[in-house]
Amino acid sequence: MTLSLSTMWAQQERFLDDMHVFVRESRALGYDAIEAAHSLPEAPFERLLTAPDARISSIHAPAPLVRYDGRANSALNIAALDDGERGTAIDYAKRSIDHTRAAGGRYVVVHLGGVGNAMFEAERELRRLYDSGTRDGQRVEELRATCLRQRAEQAAPWLERAREALAELVRHAAAGDVAIGIENRLHYHEIPQPDEAVSLLAGVPPERAGYWHDVGHAEVQWRLGLVDKRVWLERNGARCIGAHLHDVTGLADHRAPGNGDVDWGYIAAGLPEEALRVFEINQSQTAEDVAAAIPFLRERGVIA
């Protein structure tokens, strides 16, 4: 079972100055491979790929990070109704596929955009209430209902663009042994939701694309009362090819596993053994915590 460490943890000066140091430290902490995150700027991204002992398991599109029209390329909506924005987002994802193939990686993690380009205001208020300690009540129920209604009313054309984008990326990846992983997202307006993932992957060969389970994203949407976290793997577990493993405190994710309060039981039960395990831990976590995450999840049956 391959254990991969995301370069999300490498957003530190000592690593960004020389990603070869990150490669060596990730090995010393117990990891077999590396996922290049979409937050990794171009120069350290290129340095990472030159490390002689770097084993690249996956690249999270649209790595590397570049600026486009004044914003990060990861901010582009690959499901946009605007042809220009959607086409540019697809092009950046294709570059990530090409980099993955050249590096000998197997997977490209893709964000399939959203229903619109911004978080619903109802979700924004839900988050404020949650952070202030209000987790239920009439106003909370009203906001949840608004989120569900707004997305249901608006989703159709954006979902169709997402489907077209996925098909184009699958065709591009078919030239090499690269599979696309469509990731569940942090915000309710984003694509896909559980049944949408089922529909988007229907008819796509399993070796070409699958579902990518982000533990923290599922946890946050569940805590807001919007999507049951267990449904993701119940409906998409058979197509799950990889996972981002990180812990959550409140609504803050990307903690090292063991530094939050996620219940890992449903992950251990639902994550296929063959799915790639990527530890997506942010730069605020200590090296000791990054190392301790492995035995922590081994004890809970998430890794072998």
Can you give the residue range of the structural domain that contains 192? 3-118+158-299
Q: Are strands 276-279 and 252-255 parallel, antiparallel or unpaired?
A: unpaired
Number of domains present in the structure of the chain: 1
Report d(CA 1, CA 170) in Å as an integer: 25
The per-residue pLDDT for range 261-292, each reduced to its tens digit, is: 999 999 999 999 999 999 999 999 999 999 99
Is residue 266 in some structural domain?
yes
Whether the pLDDT of residue 176 is over 90: the answer is: no
Is residue 153 in some structural domain?
no
Is residue 124 in some structural domain?
no
Whether the predicted model's global pTM rises above the 0.85 cut: yes
The per-residue pLDDT for range 199-242, each reduced to its tens digit, is: 999 999 999 999 999 999 999 999 999 999 999 999 999 999 99
Output the pLDDT for position 175: 87
The per-residue pLDDT for range 246-256, each reduced to its tens digit, is: 999 999 999 99
Is residue 149 in some structural domain?
no
The per-residue pLDDT for range 79-124, each reduced to its tens digit, is: 999 999 999 999 999 999 999 999 999 999 999 999 999 999 999 9
| DSSP β-bridge partners for residue 36 | 59
List Cβ<8 Å contacts ≥24 apart for 222-225.
223/130, 223/248, 223/250, 223/251, 224/123, 224/126, 224/127, 224/130, 224/144, 224/188, 224/251, 225/126, 225/135, 225/140, 225/144
Is residue 27 in some structural domain?
yes
Is residue 58 in some structural domain?
yes
Residue 12: CATH number of its domain: 3.20.20.150
Is residue 123 in some structural domain?
no
Is residue 148 in some structural domain?
no
